[in-house]
Amino acid sequence: MKISQLAQRLDYHFETLTGEPVTDPEQVRRLRAAEITAITNDSRKITDGCLFFCIVGARSDGHDYALQALRSGARALVVQKSLDLSAYQVPEGAEEPVILKVHDSRYAMAFLSAAYYGNPAEEMKIIGVTGTKGKTTTTYMVKKMLENAGFRVGLIGTIEAVYGDVHIPASTTTPESMRLQEIFREMADAGVEVVVMEVSSQALMLHRTQGFIFDYGIFTNLSEDHIGPAEHKDFEDYLRCKSLLFRQCRVGIVNGDSPYADRVLENRTCEVERFGMGEGNDLRATDIELVHRPGELGVRFRTEGLIEMEAEVPAPGRFSVYNALCAIAICRHFGVTPDNIAKALLQTHVKGRIEMVKVSDKFTLMIDYAHNAMALDSLLQTLREYEPGRLVCVFGCGGNRSRQRRFEMGEVSGRQADLTIITSDNPRYEEPRAIMEDIVTGIRRTKGAYIQIQDRKEAIRYAIRSGMPGDIIVLAGKGHEDYQEIRGVKYPMDERVLIQEILAEEAAR
């Protein structure tokens, strides 16, 4: 593909090997006509004739590898800094390298990647869901609703990217732009009609979702999270990055009950619809009723406004209503009928997100990804509304992460749960016992009862063995993860497997 085709939606100019702008019209013409055989931002994957993106990262700067890239056969570089590459000797008979100077290499990578893969997003409808909580569950609800209505759907998110029978494990919530466009192309070629994807604030900040327009941009909620040196400097920056989605979509669908709804819509370029429980929303949930059956928690409600129907979700609490209401608001645009919506809601089960695991008719056990104090507090408060006999919380905290999180989660569980079973999560390079003691420090700020069982399987066994009628038991923190990381090695550990092993072992006793 020619440089002129790749960069047609981009502002750029060419530079020489000494970092000077190319002004000669004939030379510009030659550079625009240069053919590219591949694109990469990984200096280890340079191939002859490829284009290399020099990306400024948190730990390294791709510009430092520019000379090496040329010597390894790169045909073109995308840079945001003028470089002196005069040490590079153009091989005899070879064409001069293309140095494409842009304002921001990451931003340029998104547009160039989209062009390289033939702008696949234009061949499908794209739904982007952002927010602090609810993204994963909402995307799976939307996928199920649309599939029930006969659409071929792709999903990209925290757990996986999936279309048809293809499942690609995720390493980040939203893939880097180059990988995202590659997945889009695979989906479009497989006949996918609609893609629903999670859009993290990091992805918006780092331009991973540039290069195309979302048909629908969704806002679920916002609370203080992801604030820190490696993410957002403060809450204002976090909010600002979330708001970027609504300058890159055609229709915005937002949680009108959120106190940040208006701010996230500032400077929007899209049409807007609101959902929620309060007056003034275009789609509202009413007549909310908790559902509690043996081994199962749920919620039932009605909708008013843009669509009127009855619905039930096999997951607890008001946040489950918000997730469902958001999915309904989206799928209305695709003509999905109330019957198909209601059926899909009952069928939607998301791995590690308030995932019910049937172990007894006497008590309820669930797995959830809640791995910080805010998420755990919200979950336990919600479960309290179901008036359990006891609320039992099994959790640990990750190593090589903030100790403050451990204190906070311990305090939350000590305050909200009747019994906390402290265990190991991903200790990484720390000692599990030291992490557990930090959790104890937080619990001791409360009057909550607790026990420490380091082996996670044995902690779960204890919870099941000691389960009483009416109990709700929560295994928090691991969620969809199927490993335990210890000193740089990820060992297989899936809580669903552990539970089945425990049940089989107990039955054989």
Q: Classify domain 355-508 by CATH architecture.
A: Alpha-Beta Complex (3.90)
Q: Per-residue pLDDT tens for 382-410? A: 999 999 999 999 999 999 988 999 999 99
> What's the 3-state SS for 461-503?
HHHHHCCCCCCEEEEECCCCCCEEEECCEEEECCHHHHHHHHH
| Coil vs helix vs strand at 293 | strand
Bridge partners, 163 (sequence order): 154, 166
Q: Per-residue pLDDT tens for 134-154? A: 999 999 999 999 999 999 999
Q: Considering only CA atoms, which of 293, 289, 295, 340 is closest in space to residue 312? A: 289
Burial 246-283 (b: 16+ CB within 10 A, else e): bbbbebbbbbbbbebbeebbeebebebbbbbbeeebbb
Q: What is the pLDDT of residue 226?
A: 47
CA distance 258 to 276: 9
In one-letter notation, the amino acid at residue 491 is Y
Tokens 């649309």, residue? 146
Q: Which CATH superfamily is domain 118-347 in?
A: Mur-like, catalytic domain (3.40.1190.10)
The average confidence (pLDDT) of the chain is 95
Q: Per-residue pLDDT tens for 212-243? A: 999 999 999 987 654 555 565 678 888 999 99
User: Is a pLDDT exceeding 60 seen at residue 199?
Assistant: yes
Q: Per-residue pLDDT tens for 408-428? A: 999 999 999 999 999 999 999
User: Is a pLDDT exceeding 90 seen at residue 59?
Assistant: no
List the beta strands (DSSP E) in 256-384. Answer: 271-276, 283-293, 296-305, 309-313, 355-356, 364-368
Range name among 78-92, 100-114, 224-238 with the lowest pLDDT average = 224-238
- Domain boundaries defined on the chain: 3-115, 118-347, 355-508
The segment with the largest mean pLDDT, out of 292-301, 327-336, 368-377, is: 327-336
CB 56: neighbour CB atoms within 10 A? 15
CA distance 506 to 509: 5
Q: Per-residue pLDDT tens for 466-486? A: 999 999 999 999 999 999 999
Q: What is the pLDDT of residue 225?
A: 55
Question: For residue 248, what are its two tokens?
Answer: 């890159």
Q: What is the pLDDT of residue 237?
A: 87
Query: Mean pLDDT throughout 62-79?
Result: 97
Query: Mean pLDDT throughout 265-283?
Result: 97
Q: What is the pLDDT of residue 468?
A: 96
Burial class (CB in 10 A: 0-12, 13-18, 19+), 457: middle
Q: What is the pLDDT of residue 235?
A: 83
pLDDT-derived band of residue 311, with 50, 70 and 90 as boundaries? very high
Q: Which CATH superfamily is domain 3-115 in?
A: MurE/MurF, N-terminal domain (3.40.1390.10)
CB 86: neighbour CB atoms within 10 A? 11
Q: What is the pLDDT of residue 255?
A: 98
